[in-house]
């Protein structure tokens, strides 16, 4: 639990005798926690690494730059894409993976995140965690002596948006100055889109029920950064003339899908009529898993605007960029 740890974090990966042995301490850890914590040039660099791996032209010509390195992944929530894509990414870069589920590890019996961080840092070179409370992610980063990657919390999903930006740019060129429309729940994925709008300089219009609007703090941060992020009343207004339309599930992991929630979100469903209000060549994205017939119709998921499978694939490539940046850049 946050705040239960009793010792300050150690700076050295794998041991505390480096200084005594006259070995230089490692440089500051490169955590991938949230898009607001990483500057735009670095984010662009990470995407460039990912694209280079995808093209088969790895940075410095090293196809297996993470040989001998280990990624530990902790899942306190379910996953298909994040788990599979990180595992394949690490393996293709020459490294290996250890996967821990929340309930079947000692975390499920109350071992603290801080202690888990210190233990895993002795086995692994990088840790990815998917959890509920973002305080747990911060605690992991505070107590790990290796880089920590955010694999989703209740408040953000930055790895997803890196893959999404890569996907948009592959299809349509630079996202800077373009218009992205979000229609649906103002959830964790929406929050990372808001942060991305500031970092990648695109216009973002969000249509969400006011009861399910994004957290004011994330909107205030984006505004402070000069980002063009606006909340608009209805989905049609958000989507009008957009280059990209994005939505996500109405019921995120850990939430209950009551009738009221579905009633509130009904008007934000992305169907062919709504999509027709966007630019003629607009793209449609969804982080998946999709609930067809709820937040998106089959006609849109399987229609000409949809790039959801490319988007899912690009989790793999973007995360190679993240892993390479954390460990080998
Ligand atoms: N989009 C995404 O993160 O999918 P998973 O929950 O399957 O990892
Ligand atoms: N908002 C969704 C994203 C899943 C990848 C959730 O948190 O369940």
Q: Is 326 a catalytic residue?
A: no
3-state secondary structure 84-136: HHHHHHHHHCCCEEEEEECCCCHHHHCCCHHHHHHHHCCCCCEEEEECCCHHH
Answer whether 180's CB lies under 8 Å from 193's CB: yes
Answer whether 137's CB lies under 8 Å from 150's CB: yes
Q: Is 130 a catalytic residue?
A: yes
Nearest CA to ligand 2 atom 6: 252
Query: Ligand 1 centroid vs 70 CA: distance in angstroms?
Result: 21
Whether the pLDDT of residue 252 is over 50: the answer is yes
Closest CA to 156 of 140, 135, 183, 139: 135
In this prediction, residue 233 carries a pLDDT of 83
Residues 73-101 have a mean pLDDT of 98
What does DSSP assign to residue 251? S
First-to-last alpha carbon distance for the chain, in angstroms, is 32
Query: Ligand 2 centroid vs 252 CA: distance in angstroms?
Result: 5
Query: Ligand 1 centroid vs 193 CA: distance in angstroms?
Result: 16
Whether the pLDDT of residue 14 is over 60: the answer is no
Atom number in ligand 2 closest to CA 248: 1
H runs (alpha helix) in the chain: 40-54, 81-92, 113-120, 134-143, 158-172, 188-200, 216-224, 235-239, 259-265, 272-275, 298-301, 308-327
In this prediction, residue 19 carries a pLDDT of 56
| d(C-alpha 46, C-alpha 136), whole Å | 24
Answer whether 323's CB lies under 8 Å from 89's CB: yes
In this prediction, residue 28 carries a pLDDT of 84
Pocket lining for ligand 2, CB < 6 angstroms: 152, 187-189, 248-249, 252-253, 287
Q: Is 138 a catalytic residue?
A: no
Judged by average pLDDT, the poorest of 22-26, 33-37, 324-328 is 22-26
Which one of 155, 160, 195, 319 is the catalytic residue?
160
Q: Which two tokens stand for residue 209?
A: 């029920």
Tell me the ligand closest to 164's alpha carbon.
Answer: 1
Answer whether 148's CB lies under 8 Å from 142's CB: no
pLDDT tier, 20 (very low <50, low <70, confident <90, very high otherwise): low
Residues 258-276 have a mean pLDDT of 97
Pocket lining for ligand 1, CB < 6 angstroms: 79-82, 152, 160, 287-288
Sign of CA dihedral 142, 144, 146, 151: negative
Phi-psi region of 222 (alpha: psi -120 to 50; beta: other; left: phi over 0): alpha
Residues 120-144 have a mean pLDDT of 98
Q: Is 157 a catalytic residue?
A: yes
The neighbouring-strand residues paired with 284 are 245, 306
Query: Ligand 1 centroid vs 128 CA: distance in angstroms?
Result: 13
Q: Which two tokens stand for residue 151?
A: 């694999």
Could you read off the pLDDT of 167-190 as tens digits, one per residue? 999 999 999 999 999 999 999 999
Whether the pLDDT of residue 306 is over 70: the answer is yes
In this prediction, residue 22 carries a pLDDT of 61
With the most atoms of ligand 1 within 8 angstroms of its CB, the residue from 129, 152, 291 to mutate is 152
Which one of 69, 81, 83, 130 is the catalytic residue?
130
Tell me the ligand closest to 248's alpha carbon.
Answer: 2
CA 5 to mean position of chain CA atoms: 27
pTM: 0.93
Atom number in ligand 1 closest to CA 78: 6
Q: Is 315 a catalytic residue?
A: yes
Could you read off the pLDDT of 223-235 as tens digits, one per residue? 999 999 999 989 9
| d(C-alpha 206, C-alpha 221), whole Å | 16
Atom number in ligand 1 closest to CA 85: 8
Whether the pLDDT of residue 257 is over 90: the answer is no
| d(C-alpha 155, C-alpha 137), whole Å | 11
Tell me the ligand closest to 192's alpha carbon.
Answer: 2
Q: Is 248 a catalytic residue?
A: yes
């Amino acid at each position: 639990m946050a705040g239960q740890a009793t010792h300050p974090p150690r700076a050295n990966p794998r041991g505390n005798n480096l200084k005594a042995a006259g070995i230089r301490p490692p440089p500051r850890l490169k955590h991938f926690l949230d898009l607001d914590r990483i500057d735009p040039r670095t984010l662009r660099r990470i995407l460039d690494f990912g694209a280079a791996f995808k093209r088969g032209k790895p940075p410095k010509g090293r196809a297996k730059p993470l040989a001998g390195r280990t990624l530990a992944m902790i899942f306190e929530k379910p996953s298909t894409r994040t788990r599979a894509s990180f595992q394949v990414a690490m393996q293709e870069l020459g490294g290996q993976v250890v996967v821990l589920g929340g309930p079947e590890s000692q975390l499920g019996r109350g071992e603290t995140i801080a202690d888990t961080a210190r233990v895993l840092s002795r086995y692994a070179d990088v840790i990815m965690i998917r959890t509920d409370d973002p305080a747990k992610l911060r605690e992991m980063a505070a107590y790990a002596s290796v880089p920590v990657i955010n694999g989703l919390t209740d408040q953000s999903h930055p790895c997803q948006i890196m893959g999404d930006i890569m996907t948009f740019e592959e299809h349509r060129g630079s996202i800077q100055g373009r218009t992205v429309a979000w229609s649906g729940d103002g959830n964790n994925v929406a929050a990372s889109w808001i942060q991305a709008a500031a970092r990648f300089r695109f216009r973002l219009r969000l249509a969400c029920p006011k009861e399910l609007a994004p957290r004011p703090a994330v909107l205030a941060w984006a505004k402070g950064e000069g980002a063009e992020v606006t909340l608009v009343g209805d989905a049609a207004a958000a989507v009008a003339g957009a280059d990209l339309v994005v939505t996500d599930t109405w019921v995120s992991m850990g939430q209950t899908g009551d009738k009221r929630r579905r009633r509130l979100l009904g008007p934000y469903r992305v169907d062919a009529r709504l999509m027709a209000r966007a630019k003629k060549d607009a793209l449609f994205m969804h982080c998946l898993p999709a609930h067809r017939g709820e937040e998106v119709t089959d006609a849109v998921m399987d229609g000409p605007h949809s790039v959801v499978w490319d988007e899912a694939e690009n989790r793999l490539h973007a995360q190679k960029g993240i892993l390479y940046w954390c460990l080998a850049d």
